[in-house]
Amino acid sequence: MCGIAGYLNFDPERPIDRGVLERMTRTLVHRGPDEEGYFVDGPVGLGMRRLRVIDLDGGRQPLANEDRTVWVVFNGEIYNFDELRRQLEHRHTFRTRSDTEVIVHLYEEYGPSCTRALRGMFAFALWDARRRRLLLARDHLGEKPLYYARTRDALWFGSELKALLAAPAVGRTVDFGALDDYLALGYVPAPGTIFREIQKLPPGSYLQVQGGPVLVRRYWRLDWTPRGPDDEATATAAVHERLEDSVRRRLVADVPLGAFLSGGIDSTTVTWLMRRASAGPVKTFSIGFDEPAFDELPYARAVARALDTDHYEQVVKPDALALLPELVEHFDEPFGDASAIPTYLLSRLARQHVTVALSGDGGDEAFAGYERYRKAYLVDRLRPFLLGAPGASLGAWLTRLVPVGRRPLRRVGAALARAALPALERYTAMVGLCTPDVRAALFSGSPGAWRVGATPASLATAWNDAVGLDPIRRLQAVDTETYLPDDILVKVDRASMAVSLEARAPLLDYRLLEYVAGLPTSLKMRAGDSKWILRRILAGNVPPAVLTRPKQGFAVPLARWLRDGWRDTAREMLLDGPLGQHFSRRAVEKMFAEHVRGDADRSEPLWLLLVFAGWHARYVGAR
């Protein structure tokens, strides 16, 4: 695991500034605390920071082919490197046991399309000296990040946005469209970033520069078309076999491994399979809260006891707001998913004992685990009987007639009213954190007010691309294209790499997902129960309570924390900080007062604003 950075001057006669290259690379020391390395060839410079995981002594980077005409810096792991190596050995000489070396020889055989054969998580930069070609590539699902910026004279790239900000030529103009997306979703969707001058390379894509324009091409996209077997026994056996293979591949390391364990279906599946494939007990790590509605520790403990793991846990306290500067420092962009707090603490706990941790990320998208899928299932069946026309539905009627103080009934009414919306608006309302009305009020009088829209463009594009799929399959496709790479995987990558921990996600193996995506929806959700096929695989192997518990998620008690322990600090940050440069102080003050009085739960938009205030102070105001 590494952090990579570098740049290419468009003028082939213009040499690399070694000092700039080193400054860019050293911003990533947390991603690779063990080694650093550089390659400079005329107009191109590659830098890397390495966390040693495989071939500790021999896997140094940058790494070249036999005649030193192809060079690569690489962040990630290639889980099928042994098979690829055997295929390539008859034509190439390998000098290390590193998975990195497979990339250069595979590129020599297949060029940019080599990415299709790589089974793993990766972001790499490759320089082909013969063709004077720079190739940047990112893995199929987007587990590993890669940012780039094109200026007048050069193309800049890095594993994190901060690496590009270390280059004086790269600007940092706040993009108000991206800011609106952030308020709507809690993250800035690819290919944009919070800065106009910098972009993300999308998942399953590569970028190529070869004496001409910068070309970005998509090499892979998950196909959700139904095509799998309807036979439940056959599909269950096939998924089980693929899961075992995926976990086994992710146990290859020359350093200690462990697993994140929440006690949910996904992490339990990974831990159970890891335990079966391991010679001894597995180290497991869990995070909990002092508020029972948010605490999953009892389930995690039950699984740990049943699987006889070496278990460690920690309870998150309300003073977690003190972590905000650290989170801002490592996420680089405003990132409003509050579960970044426990994810960071979980990673920090795990890093005290292991260098690699397996996680259950990707299971909700692949196996229809989110609550919104269950709601879509119910709406699809109840809509003709309960909803009627928008504005005349049972939900709208309840919302108008039930007194304001009767919040539970009003929530039911609001949910039914939302169910009467067109499908895309309903999905946007389910995943959104800040409604268009709230965003418009916040932006009132600011330069960004005109960008407020009902549905972010990223969601609309993914939704239209998934036309023709059944309702649940369509939600899975949109989440896999947007929420998974831009929220979930960003959160896990930044939180784990902040403490130099490598996180691996067996449920995101693209070969596994290609099979699961084609299975009938009935094998993922049945009678409103999600992850049906995973429950079948786990039945009899883990405590029954784990299989019957409702979906909980990695939520944080924000509402209480903002009313109690965080109130004074939050008020100071929101009302006396830099937010007035971008948002209406009156709107922020009103929102905060409503939340503190208990009139409404404004914790999600308030947290978004707190994160933005901290981010602005670090990345804009500090210049």
CB atoms within 10 A of CB 444: 13
CB atoms within 10 A of CB 149: 24
- 244 within 8 A of 342, measured Cβ to Cβ: no
- Structure-token match 């990558």, residue found: 493
Running DSSP on this structure, what letter comes out for residue 460? H
- Exactly one of 1, 2, 63, 222 is catalytic; name it: 2
- Structure-token match 């979906």, residue found: 551
Closest CA to 490 of 302, 361, 298, 594: 361
* Phi, then psi, of 48 in degrees rounded to 5: -150, 150
What distance in Å separates the CA atoms of residue 239 and residue 245, rounded to the nearest whole number? Answer: 10
- Structure-token match 């009132």, residue found: 444
Element (H, E) at 44: strand 44-50
CA torsion, ordered 81, 83, 84, 86, to nearest 10 deg: 120
CA 465-470-476 angle, 5° bins: 60
Report residue 565 CA to chain centroid gap. Answer: 29
- The residues that bridge with 76 in the sheet, in sequence order, are 122
- The residues that bridge with 238 in the sheet, in sequence order, are none
* Phi, then psi, of 388 in degrees rounded to 5: 70, -160
Burial class, 352, CB count within 10 angstroms (exposed 0-12 / middle 13-18 / buried 19+): exposed
SS3 category, 312: strand
Give 389's contacts (C-beta < 8 A, 6+ positions apart): 420
* Phi, then psi, of 410 in degrees rounded to 5: -65, -35
Rounded to 10 deg, the angle between the 603-619 and 436-443 helix axes is: 40
What distance in Å separates the CA atoms of residue 616 and residue 598, rounded to the nearest whole number? Answer: 28
- 38 within 8 A of 45, measured Cβ to Cβ: yes
Catalytic residue status for 434: no
- The residues that bridge with 286 in the sheet, in sequence order, are 313
Closest CA to 576 of 599, 609, 603: 609
- 3 within 8 A of 160, measured Cβ to Cβ: yes
SS3 category, 6: strand
**Active site positions, annotated:** 2
